[in-house]
Amino acid sequence: MIRDCGGMSSEKPKDRHHHGNLRAALIEAGIALLTEGGLDALTLRKCAARAGVSHAAPAHHFDGLDGLRVAIAEEGFDRFRRRMLAYADAAPQTPRDRLFGICRGYLAFARQEPALYDLIFSFRANSRMIEDLEEGSAPSYMVLRDSCAPFQPAGADPVILETQVWSLVHGYAMLILTGRFGDTSARDEEFLAVLDRIIAPPLSP
Amino acid sequence: MIRDCGGMSSEKPKDRHHHGNLRAALIEAGIALLTEGGLDALTLRKCAARAGVSHAAPAHHFDGLDGLRVAIAEEGFDRFRRRMLAYADAAPQTPRDRLFGICRGYLAFARQEPALYDLIFSFRANSRMIEDLEEGSAPSYMVLRDSCAPFQPAGADPVILETQVWSLVHGYAMLILTGRFGDTSARDEEFLAVLDRIIAPPLSP
DNA sequence: GCTCCAATTTGACACTGTAAACTTGACATT
DNA sequence: AATGTCAAGTTTACAGTGTCAAATTGGAGC
């Protein structure tokens, strides 16, 4: 039986008790399970089986199922962030185009990896997990924040505008996942047009 | 042992095989579990225990755990709808005030019953459950739709504005539940002020 | 009294997370 | 080379879960 270490280099099946990079392999297996079967399909035992180790092996790398979920969410946030940046960098570099690019990347990630998107936003306030995830999620939030910064009205609470933009896109993505409006992305641009209203400077008296 | 039927009328403990209104009692028990312990605490067996019946009893009233979740979500959507209407009716009856009232009720429900809010929006596209829930969720969506209707620009796709408002509030509620911005509701009015920009009529050329 | 029926229980099974004890290989020290 | 130590996985066991089939029960209708 060939032991797939999950890495790109083909290593020999060393021995029975040192996988080499089991932690990464388990995360990879977990993402695959997630992609194939949704949130409920993510299971410690199935992860272990897919990585070719015994069912209790993951306990030595993560703090239980919640720990595995947090670890996968860290990887998920990283992909999320990179997706947003990729879309932003592909757009002309006016602040407005950049903001729109970020939002398009946001929606693209939700559509292309819905289960992973579900996972990273499945942690609730005041849980131990969301504290553990703080470090992994902060960079993604920073990307959103930065793209809103050029439109902050002077003297206003900077959190407001940022929260408005963020809520809009987050809510749209969530509603897409519920299938409420048949998801075609055909209406995305019409929808995102409201961003121009949100970022418009305050009316001068 | 006194058998609590979950209803408001005190009925005698009839017998061991005819509960009387077990379905409603199970839903009630499920909501209690949800409130106390979040989504993961909702369990067929714990529901049965709390209703004072055997562990397999729920199977005869719901189609498995998913069926129970759908049934609870139906009740949840109903409470959700009534909460929005209560806030809307408490406001002065201009279309704008009504829209703001609906949105405040939306946020109030998410804050006051976070687990129930999580449950009703936990079903994903193309699942059997979301089809079963269609009938129960439609009235809530209709409430939102109606409150946006007065602001629809003539000739435009009516779905756009509605989706924008809805996404904004939905996203805000979701982000509140994740605890991203310490939830005080102090900033709600500042946040909701963006609604005036969204519903403003299109610029005349 | 009798049968029939629907509601509920009982018992069983597979799967899950978790914890404890055990095994194994790698490495450092001597 | 022998030894000890340690981290990585394994094995075993247990409680909780959803689900199914079969048995039980009490009431309704005759």
What's the pLDDT score for residue B11? 37
What's the pLDDT score for residue A204? 67
The answer to whether some atom of strand D lies closer than 7 Å to the beta carbon of A15 is no
Q: What is the mean pLDDT of each run of 10 residues along chain A (205 residues)?
A: 37 58 96 98 98 96 97 98 98 96 98 98 97 98 97 91 97 95 86 97 76
What's the pLDDT score for residue A64? 97
What residues of A are in the B interface, CB distance below 8 Å? Answer: 38, 114, 118, 121, 123-126, 130, 141, 157, 159-160, 163-164, 166-181, 183, 187, 190-191, 194, 197-198, 200
Contacts of A42 (CB under 8 A, 6+ apart): A30, A33, A34, A68, A69, A72, A119
pLDDT, tens only, A143-159: 999 999 999 999 888 89
What's the pLDDT score for residue B181? 79
What's the pLDDT score for residue B9? 37
Q: Which nucleotide in the DNA or RNA is closest to residue A17, CA to C1'?
A: D9
What's the pLDDT score for residue B17? 67
**8 A C-beta contact, residue A86 and residue A46:** no
List the single range of B42-56, B123-137, B170-184 with lowest mean pLDDT: B170-184
Q: Per CATH, which fold does A1-61 belong to?
A: Arc Repressor Mutant, subunit A (1.10.10)
CATH hierarchy code of domain A74-199: 1.10.357.10
In chain A, pLDDT over 70 holds for what percent of residues?
91
Q: Which nucleotide in the DNA or RNA is closest to residue A23, CA to C1'?
A: D8
Cα–Cα distance measured from residue A67 to residue A44, given in angstroms and rounded to the nearest whole number: 10
Selected residue of A111, A170, A174 to mutate for chain B interface (largest B Cβ count, 10 A): A170
Closest CA to A197 of A168, A172, A171: A168
ipTM of the complex: 0.91
Query: CATH topology of A1-61 equal to that of A74-199?
Result: no
Which position has the token pair 């670890």?
Answer: A71
Residue A11 CB: number of other CB atoms within 10 A? 12
Amino acid at A134: E
- How many Å lie between the alpha carbon of B2 and the closest alpha carbon of chain A? 36
Average pLDDT on B188-197 reads 97
What's the pLDDT score for residue A181? 79
For chain B, the structural domain boundaries read: 12-61, 66-199
The answer to whether some atom of strand D lies closer than 7 Å to the beta carbon of B46 is yes
Contact B175 A167 (CB under 8 A): yes
Cα–Cα distance measured from residue B39 to residue B27, given in angstroms and rounded to the nearest whole number: 14
Cα–Cα distance measured from residue A171 to residue A177, given in angstroms and rounded to the nearest whole number: 10
- How many Å lie between the alpha carbon of A188 and the closest alpha carbon of chain B? 9
Q: Which residue of B has its CA nearest to A189?
A: B160
For residue B12, is pLDDT > 80?
no
CATH architecture of the domain B12-61 equals Orthogonal Bundle (1.10)
* Closest residue (CA to C1') to nucleotide C9 in the complex: B54
Rounded to whole angstroms, the distance from the CA of residue A38 to the C1' of nucleotide C12 is 29
Per the CATH hierarchy, to which homologous superfamily does domain B66-199 belong? Tetracycline Repressor, domain 2 (1.10.357.10)
What's the pLDDT score for residue A102? 98
Q: Which of B38, B130, B170 sits opposite A175 (nearest CB)?
A: B170
